Amino acid sequence: MISGGGTGGHIYPAIAIANAWKEKHPSSEILFVGALGKMEMQKVPEAGYKIKGLPVAGLQRSLTLENLKFPFKLLKSLTQASQIIKDFNPDAVVGVGGYASGPVLYAAQRKGIPTLVQEQNSYAGLTNKILAKRAKKICVAYPEMDRFFPADSIAYTGNPVRKDILDLSGKREKALTHFGLDPAKKTLLVLGGSLGARTLNQAVLADLQKLDAEGYQVLWQCGKFYFQEMKSKLAESGLTTIHLNEFIREMDLAYAAADVIVSRAGALSVSELSLVGKPVIFIPSPNVAEDHQTKNAMAYVSHDAALLLKDSEAIGALKQKVKELMEDSKLSESLGRNIKNLAKPNAANAIVEEIEQLIA
């Protein structure tokens, strides 16, 4: 059983683990448990797996009526999680973070079923810190995570990512054709996640004309929350070198086309970008728990494996950072090489091996 979700950063590693397990154990049954109304309820079935939903939700930062419902939703979710576990009778339960993983792993631990926590970030979330006390194994993506978890339970596996980005060689020409890009121009890839990132979008908007004047083209994933607004602004600019997308499904081709990448620093993005091995400018989101995106980014910046641009400084400063990398081939090559050295390409299989040991 695999539980968690809420964002792609939790869902895609969970699916990667399931795929790796299924490859080794094709006759196994796998059941996902997610939160009702969250994206895992769509993405997991699309990947070919069954999923059950819990009514669990998080606490809002401001005082709302939804917060009054929280204890009732949590209690109901604990009861339902216990019943789902009783019915499915799993040999092991994996939690990948997100609202649903708390009730499911808690219920499994109470029943004596081995549990494994997969922590994607360099700064552990509160739920995982609590669950880890009774988990048999904690799989992490960063060193020195014994700050949060019992050292003897930690396995340094990395974050599982989709297979298609493990080898980008020979894909550049196909990528340029697919996105309608000019082979003679250098390409900036901007990624703000599936929902979008306001600051990244505003930063691109602010420097549209300058990026075009420098001779760059932009492959831009702006996210579904901002697509119509950005589409309208782009139409006003009249520029043809900016290739706007609500969401990019062919991420392997997007990475293959890129000369420089600008991205948020969510755990999944950082792990994928380390495998890609291209120069990256991280603009961490400040609107996340414990500022963990900055901590994720700094784990790479401290190894000279990426550049950091603060969210508060990004608008108006993006073009200059991009130009720095586009024109300094030595720096670009060094960052690309260093970030690739931090990659963990076999993370999903490493986690599968840890699960196997739990139920051996």
Residues 129 and 71 in one domain: yes
Residues 241 and 309 in one domain: yes
Residues 176 and 125 in one domain: no
| Residue 338 exposure: Cα atoms within 13 Å on the Cβ side | 17
Q: Are strands 186-191 and 216-221 parallel, antiparallel or unpaired?
A: parallel
Please give the C-alpha separations between residue 246 and each of 120, 224, 274, in angstroms, as whole numbers.
25, 5, 24
Q: Quick check: helix, strand or coil at residue 188? A: strand
pLDDT in tens, 169-210: 999 999 999 999 999 999 999 998 766 799 999 999 999 999
Residues 108 and 201 in one domain: no
Confidence class for position 61, pLDDT limits 50, 70, 90: low
The mean pLDDT value of the chain amounts to 94
Average pLDDT for 83-108:
96
Range of the domain at 86: 2-159+345-359
Binding residues for UDP-N-acetyl-alpha-D-glucosamine: 7-9, 121, 162, 194, 248, 267-272, 293
Residues 10 and 153 in one domain: yes
- d(CA 313, CA 164) in angstroms, rounded, equals 34
DSSP state letters, 203-224: HHHHTHHHHHHTTEEEEEE--T
Residues 144 and 290 in one domain: no
Cα of first residue to Cα of last residue in the chain, in angstroms, is: 16
- What DSSP state is assigned to residue 147? G
Q: Are strands 186-191 and 260-263 parallel, antiparallel or unpaired?
A: parallel
Is the pLDDT confidence value at 273 over 80? yes
Strand partners, 53: 34
Q: What pLDDT, on a 0 to 100 scale, did the predictor assign at position 62?
A: 60
Residues 151 and 45 in one domain: yes
- d(CA 67, CA 265) in angstroms, rounded, equals 28
- d(CA 333, CA 274) in angstroms, rounded, equals 13
219: tokens are 């492959």
Is the pLDDT confidence value at 71 over 80? yes
- d(CA 109, CA 103) in angstroms, rounded, equals 10
Q: Which of 3, 5, 2 is nearest to 268 (CA)?
A: 5
Q: What pLDDT, on a 0 to 100 scale, did the predictor assign at position 57?
A: 81
Residues 111 and 177 in one domain: no
Is the pLDDT confidence value at 305 over 60? yes
User: Model-level pTM greater than 0.85?
Assistant: yes
Q: What pLDDT, on a 0 to 100 scale, did the predictor assign at position 59?
A: 61
Is the pLDDT confidence value at 294 over 80? yes
* 47-61, 82-96, 252-266, 292-306: the lowest-pLDDT one: 47-61
**b/e code 59-68 from CB counts within 10 Å (16+ = b):** eeeeeeeeee
Please enumerate in sequence order all residues whose Cβ is within 8 A of that of 99, keeping only pairs 6 or more positions apart, or say none: 4, 5, 6, 35, 38, 54, 56, 57, 58
Residues 218 and 266 in one domain: yes
Q: What pLDDT, on a 0 to 100 scale, did the predictor assign at position 170?
A: 94
52: tokens are 């059950």
Is the pLDDT confidence value at 159 over 80? yes
Q: What is the CATH number of the domain that holds 245?
A: 3.40.50.2000
Is the pLDDT confidence value at 117 over 80? yes
Residues 148 and 193 in one domain: no
Residues 237 and 119 in one domain: no
Confidence class for position 14, pLDDT limits 50, 70, 90: very high
Binding residues: 7-9, 121, 162, 194, 248, 267-272, 293
Please give the C-alpha separations between residue 342 and each of 16, 141, 154, 213, 338, in angstroms, as whole numbers.
19, 10, 18, 35, 7
Number of domains in the chain: 2
Residues 11 and 67 in one domain: yes
- d(CA 221, CA 252) in angstroms, rounded, equals 14
159: tokens are 């974050």
Is the pLDDT confidence value at 148 over 90? yes
- d(CA 81, CA 86) in angstroms, rounded, equals 9
